[in-house]
Structure formats: C-alpha cells, structure tokens
Amino acid sequence: MTYKKTIAIFGAGPGLGASVAARFGAEGYRVALVARRAEPLQARVAELASAGIEAAAFPADLGRLDGIPALVRAIEERFGAIDVAVYAPVPSMFGFIPATEVSAQVLQAAADLFLYAPVEVARAVLPGQLERGDGAVVIVGGLSALMPVPGLAAIGPLMAAARNYALVLNAEAKARGIYAGSVSIGAMIDRSAGKLALEAQGVKLEGDLPTMDPDDIAQEIWALVTGRDRTEAILPPLPKA
C-alpha cells in the first residue's frame, strides 16, 4: 500500500492557505485545513475534493494555545500523521502601531498568534515526525522579521523570534530527518483575507507594497520542503546591495 503524506495548514485562508493546499494536494498530499471559521473551511474542502484532493476541516482558534495539542491529535487521528506543518496565521484584525506606542501589553496581545502558537504547533507535531525520522515545519511571517518596517513594531519582533526559532530548530534537528524553514513575505497576498477586507472597504492599494500571487508563494514553500537546501525564503527577493 502506497503511503500518502499529509500537510496541515495552520491558518488556511482563501489566499496563501488555499494555494498551499492545492500545490501539495496536486502532489498527492492529504490536506488538513485549520482556521477559525468552519463554513469557509468546508467550502475549501469541497473545492479540493472537486480536484480529487482528500482534505478535512479543523476549525480552531490558534490564539488559544492550550487547544493546540488536542487539535494536532485530532488531525493525526484523522490522517495518521502530519508530514508537513505550515503555520501561516490569518489575523482577524491588524493595525499599525508606532514604536513609541508599543508596550509589553501590546506585545503580549500579539505574541500568542505570531510567536507562541507556531512554537506550540511545532512542539505538538515533532514527536511523530522524530519517531518517523522525517518531517517538515514551515513558519510564514512578514518582512518585518528581518528589517525595520515603520508601524509594525508590535509584530516585527515577534515574527523575528519565530523566524529565529525555525532556523535553530532546523540546525538542531536536521540530522534526525526534520526540516524547518521560514518564509518572510513583504507583499500583499492576492486573494488573501486581508486584501479582500481592504478591497471591501474601498481601500486602494497603492505605493511601494507589491502584490504577490499566492500560487507563487506556495511553489516556494514546496521548493523549501522538498529541496531542503536552504532554510528560508524572502518574497519578493530583496534587491542586492
């Protein structure tokens, strides 16, 4: 019997999450979709099924850290294993906070989603991956993890810490068959919940922030997981100095 691998997408929105599901599903992966709202998840499961991809929805609030172990167990009970975990949070709301107004309380409010949850997801999937001697964890964040972005002082430091965790995890566990990587995105993602919300409000996206096709990002994640020859991707690539 041929072993079918499973990818779990934590933060499976209509943009990047949908594209990652389609990309890995096209390669024969079964797909576990995790997000807060059940109805959109079921719609994506149906879309994947129409393309011949086996998928299941797991509604959950990733900001509730104590629920992550049970969530991972539920996915493993359904599919038997999680071979690839992609953490790509889709926050329900966001805002620009100047660094002069950032406090410990502000950071704590964002830390669950952008730092603690990806660590807890990795911690929950790693035992099974280590036992099998193979697995991958990819944490998706923003460009503010690597460079100062005005207005993002509340989440940039948290994403930087999550990125560092992924790189250290890879350095420590690669000899045991585990790959961990980071993807930092400095663009608005087309078809994403954030872009759709702004468009619904009549906000015109102009200026220096580019828009990326989530299919291109999903392809980059596929290349990281299968190639394992580099630990991170920065999208779009930064210009050379």
> What are the structural domain ranges in the chain?
6-235
d(CA 72, CA 76): 6
pTM: 0.93
Mean pLDDT, rounded, for 152-171: 96
pLDDT of residue 205: 54
pLDDT of residue 101: 92
Angle, vertex CA 107, rays to CA 106 and CA 108, nearest 5: 90
Instruction: Considering only CA atoms, give the Rg of the chain.
Output: 17
Angle, vertex CA 23, rays to CA 227 and CA 28, nearest 5: 85
Task: Pick the closest to residue 116 from 57, 158, 174, 55 (CA basis).
Answer: 158
pLDDT of residue 82: 98
Question: Is the pLDDT assigned to residue 165 strictly greater than 60?
Answer: yes
The CATH number of the structural domain formed by 6-235 is 3.40.50.720
Question: Is the pLDDT assigned to residue 19 strictly greater than 70?
Answer: yes
Residues in Cβ contact with 131 at an 8 Å cutoff, skipping those fewer than 6 apart? none
pLDDT of residue 216: 97
Question: Is the pLDDT assigned to residue 197 strictly greater than 70?
Answer: no
**What pLDDT digit, counting tens, does each position of 53-73 carry?**
999 999 999 999 999 999 999
Residues 48/23, Cβ–Cβ less than 8 Å: no
Question: Is the pLDDT assigned to residue 207 strictly greater than 90?
Answer: no
Percent of the residues in the chain that have a pLDDT greater than 90, as a whole number: 78
pLDDT of residue 191: 77
pLDDT-derived band at 218, boundaries 50, 70, 90: very high
Which range among 109-118, 160-169, 205-214 shows the weakest confidence by mean pLDDT? 205-214
Q: Which of 32-36, 88-92, 144-148 is the most confident on average?
A: 32-36
Percent of the residues in the chain that have a pLDDT greater than 70, as a whole number: 90
